[in-house]
Structure 1
Amino acid sequence: MTPDERRLTRLRRLERVRSIAKRQLAAETAEAEAALSQLRTLTERTRGLAEDYAARDDAVDGFVLRQTGRFAAGLCQVARSAGLGATAAQERADRKLAELASAEQRRAAVEDRITLAEGLLARKGVARPVEARRKIGTELE
């Protein structure tokens, strides 16, 4: 095996590794987006409940009024906490999305290097090893 062929083999191996890393980052990004969506939904629903309880005026005595106020305040605290969690989840999702874009660029760069190496081997007249390049992933990636 010539040095150029060994280089091409290494590049193909590197492309597989980069493709696997990209898939893993895509899964992590999807998880981060799902967590963000859940926290946003929780924040909205809890805030709505807190507003509904705070607006109630059907208390028959002071005790019920105080309990309703405490419950509404507790819901507001949960909504604030979920809002902070949603902010952190948004930052994590953005970071993962940026990492995913970077991983795709690295994978595409290796793919370009493979194309160049194959062209170089073809120009040199070296018989390309008959190795079926299995496509990794789906059309959607």
Structure 2
Amino acid sequence: MKAERDRLKRLNRLERVRDIAKQTAAAEAAQAEGTLAQLEALAERTRRMAEEYAARIGAQDGASLRQVNSFARGLEGISANTSNDAANARRIADFKMQALSQAERRRAVVEERAERQARVIAKGSETPVLGARRKSGTDLD
């Protein structure tokens, strides 16, 4: 009986450890999702800025036109880099969500094992129900 209780204690400790791992994975996944959202918003803003500068038509001379076009091309490059960064952040966020899912599954498995062990202990500590006692002797007693 002591071995069963010790096993239950170990399983409960393991469940707490897995729960902490799950919480850590959830925090990392949330951080990755936040980074992804920021990068997507930044990529969208730089893309719009590049489009606005490329569409400008109020240049007074060739030098100002070249300067505006050069600036627009630079913004397009920044927008492309930011879009690539957002794609990388999306892959990382997906990986972190998978890690969170795995951590939850590991925790749930240990929780189930601990519950099963607790049922075994509870079942072992119950007093067995005794059936009707057989009479011994004869009816003359």
Partner of 1:138: none
Distance in 2 of aligned mates of 1:41 and 1:25: 24
Question: Once superposed, what is the RMSD of the aligned Cα atoms?
Answer: 1.0
Distance in 1 of aligned mates of 2:27 and 2:113: 26
Distance in 2 of aligned mates of 1:18 and 1:62: 66
**Is residue 95 from structure 1 mapped to residue 123 from structure 2 by the alignment?**
no
The normalised TM-score by structure 1 is 0.88
* Matched pairs, number: 126
Partner of 1:64: 64
For residues 1-141 of structure 1, the aligned pairs below 5 Å read 2-125=2-125
Structure number with greater Rg is: 2
Give the fraction of aligned pairs with identical amino acids, expressed as a percent: 47
Deviations 1:3-33 (CA, angstroms, capped at 9, x unpaired): 1001000000000000000000100000100
Deviations 1:98-129 (CA, angstroms, capped at 9, x unpaired): 00000000001111011100000001017xxx
- Give ranges in structure 2 of 5+ residues lacking alignment: 127-141
Distance in 2 of aligned mates of 1:67 and 1:34: 35
Query: What SS is found at the alignment partner of 1:60?
Result: coil
Distance in 2 of aligned mates of 1:64 and 1:26: 51
Runs of 4+ in 1 over 3 A off after TM superposition: none
Q: Supply the AA of the counterpart residue of 1:53.
A: Y
Deviations 1:51-78 (CA, angstroms, capped at 9, x unpaired): 0000000000111100100100000000
- Give ranges in structure 1 of 5+ residues lacking alignment: 127-141
